[in-house]
Amino acid sequence: MESASSEILIDGAPFFRLYKDGRIKRLSGTENVPPGLDPKTNVESKDVLYSQEIAQSVRIYVPGTVVTSAQKLPLLVYFHGGGFCIESAFSPTYHNYLNALVAEAKIVAVSVNYRRSPEHPLPAAYDDSWTALKWVASHYIGTGPEQWLNHYVDFANVYLSGDSAGANISHHLAVKITNEKLDGMNLVGIILTHPFFWGKEPVGDEVKKPAIRAKMDGIWRLAYPTTSGSDDPWINPIDDQSFGRFLGCKRVLVCVAEKDVMRHRGWYYCEKLKNSKWGGEVEMMEAQGEDHVFHLNKPNCPNAVAMLKKVAEFINQGKA
């Protein structure tokens, strides 16, 4: 018989394997790259600790033109995806994406690293992301610990964004910011890319196969073992009676992919938001023939380039 240390509880290949003894083996998203000047985009980055207590950092990006301009730039706070279990703010996937986006949009970006499940089950990632956002906001009067944020950021033009699990985090922080105001930070909008939302019952033409729905439920339960299930408001905020009422911004962009199993949730989110008491502006972009987070896996394909330009345009349209 296999020992408990070698028995697989959840085989999430090619992303991870969870063993019965609680160990996780991450099969992707484990590589890190250092910050610095990117010669392709002329974007510079550095890592800064935002919490000594949890030993987590952010990676800050500024375009090469920022040092020669007196004008402060919009800020994008980004939360990486990976099902709350894999990837990091320092992986080449996200480093390359944010270099390209910062260069295209001429913005400052803060990419947040957070503790991951199952070692640190949810709500750890939500708590860490909120801690990071509060740390960023502490720079609004120009006296924070990080000079790039003091000198280069227009805190009247702040956006939250992320892909998959990171999009889920962005939504929840946009709600939290309504109840727990961050002095000096004006959240203009959120950009949700292939958001990780789910629910017990299918919506629209969403997949109905029990095996696929059980797999999605299993991923969520791995991230949040004490969850009430797939209708937990953390994973299914859309069916909450107060949905939209407390969303702390006036602009939303949702990006989905035609072949993504979560595509219908993205459309459902937009429809429900439009019909809620929110009263803001929501935009939708769908990439035909593409799958979940294709833009990270194929950054130079036409659909990925178009999406990058759309995100940059969305941010710059909101400039005060």
Domains of the chain and any CATH numbers: 1-30 (no CATH), 32-317 (3.40.50.1820)
Active site (catalytic) residues:
164, 260, 292
Judged by phi (left if over 0) then psi (alpha if -120 to 50, else beta), residue 87 lies in left
What's the pLDDT score for residue 290? 98
Contacts of residue 134, defined as CB under 8 A and 6 or more positions apart, other chains included, come to: 182
Radius of gyration of the chain (CA): 19
What's the pLDDT score for residue 228? 96
What's the pLDDT score for residue 1? 41
Q: Are 109 and 75 in contact (CB under 8 A)?
A: yes
What's the pLDDT score for residue 3? 52
Give mean pLDDT in consecutive 10-residue pieces for the chain, a chain of 320 residues.
Answer: 66 75 77 96 98 97 82 96 95 98 97 94 98 98 96 97 98 96 95 98 95 92 94 95 91 98 97 94 98 97 98 86
| Torsional sign, CA 241, 198, 159, 144 | positive
Half-sphere exposure of 139 toward its Cβ, with a 13 Å CA cutoff?
21
Cα-based angle 211, 298, 293 (whole degrees, multiple of 5): 40
What's the pLDDT score for residue 241? 84
